[in-house]
Amino acid sequence: MSNPVILTCPIIGAELTREVYPELPLSPEELAEAARGACEAGATIIHLHVRDEDGKPTQRVDVFEETSRRIRERCDCILQYSTGGAVGTPLEDRLAPLDLHPDMATLSMGSMNFGDDIFENKEHTIRALSSKMKELSIMPELEIFDYGMMDTVDRFLKKGYLSAPFHVDFVLGVPGGMNGQVGSLNMLVERLPKGQSWTVSGVGRFQLSLAAHALVMGGHVRVGLEDNIYYRKGELAQSNTQLVARVARIARELDRDVATLEDTRKILNLPPRS
């Protein structure tokens, strides 16, 4: 294999609405179809948020369960549950879906302004999420929105609240976090503890440029509607599939294979699903 790139697709997120993106998949069935398309285009990890019957973000276990089942009926992929939820989601709710034993789950490494809201991740919150993932052998993906969060990673490693291996996702371009210039990504990658894998999530207009930059740097890429709804300036993307397919095409042109599920498990040290 030629330096395979793992493509993660965040198919919906918690903030997006049909007012801004009319074709937004919301129900378990629609989310499963969106996941199928993304996997066919090359994604092997689905970053999953779910919505309730009114289309509102929820961390309800039954909705995660039904959506996961429907996704698994259609495609073999790694499910990565969001524990970030929406801004303001209580810790108890953020922890709840972990009981379903997903392969991976997100772990945001600090609080920040998130647009006009606050995405709160107190140290005790991070510890609670991290220790439940450890207890259930769920691989965390550390969400890094700002440079200082790397210091929290070091502190948590030192204190034993986190242990390698883990995977890191640099989420760049959120208003309130670090910007999506390529220099930001360079700094963060240099700062990463040796031997850990990383992905970049470019938010909004940074999605394509950061994806291309990560491909050249040898990193992995997250691409999908949660982070960006445009295919190009002024033109809404048709679907997650379309966004993933473009990055897969660019990867191949740059002589990087798109990681298969087997490659992905190997790179991330993920055991096969039991």
Binding residues for ligand KMH, rule: CB under 6 A, are 13-15, 82-84, 86-87, 106, 108, 114, 119, 143
Going by their DSSP bridges, the two strands 112-114 and 117-119 should be labelled as antiparallel
Cα separation, 242 vs 12, whole angstroms: 14
- # residues near Zn ion by CB under 5 A: 1
C-alpha atoms less than 13 angstroms from C-alpha of 267 in its C-beta half-sphere = 25
Q: With respect to Zn ion, which residue has the nearer C-beta, 4 or 214?
A: 214
Q: With respect to ligand KMH, which residue has the nearer C-beta, 4 or 67?
A: 67
With CB under 5 to 8 Å by kind, the binding choice for 143 among Zn ion, ligand KMH, none is ligand KMH
User: Positive or negative, the Cα torsion across 49, 54, 60, 61?
Assistant: negative
Cα separation, 81 vs 96, whole angstroms: 11
Q: With respect to ligand KMH, which residue has the nearer C-beta, 106 or 197?
A: 106
At its nearest, how many Å lie between ligand KMH and the CB of residue 256? 26
With CB under 5 to 8 Å by kind, the binding choice for 25 among Zn ion, ligand KMH, none is none
At its nearest, how many Å lie between Zn ion and the CB of residue 107? 12
C-alpha atoms less than 13 angstroms from C-alpha of 228 in its C-beta half-sphere = 30
**Cα 190-193-155 angle, rounded to 5 deg:** 115
Q: With respect to Zn ion, which residue has the nearer C-beta, 83 or 264?
A: 83
Q: Which of 80, 82, 152, 201 binds Zn ion (CB under 5 A)?
A: 82
Query: Helix or strand or coil: residue 39?
Result: helix
Query: Helix or strand or coil: residue 162?
Result: coil
With CB under 5 to 8 Å by kind, the binding choice for 119 among ligand KMH, Zn ion, none is ligand KMH
Residues that bind Zn ion (CB under 5 A): 82
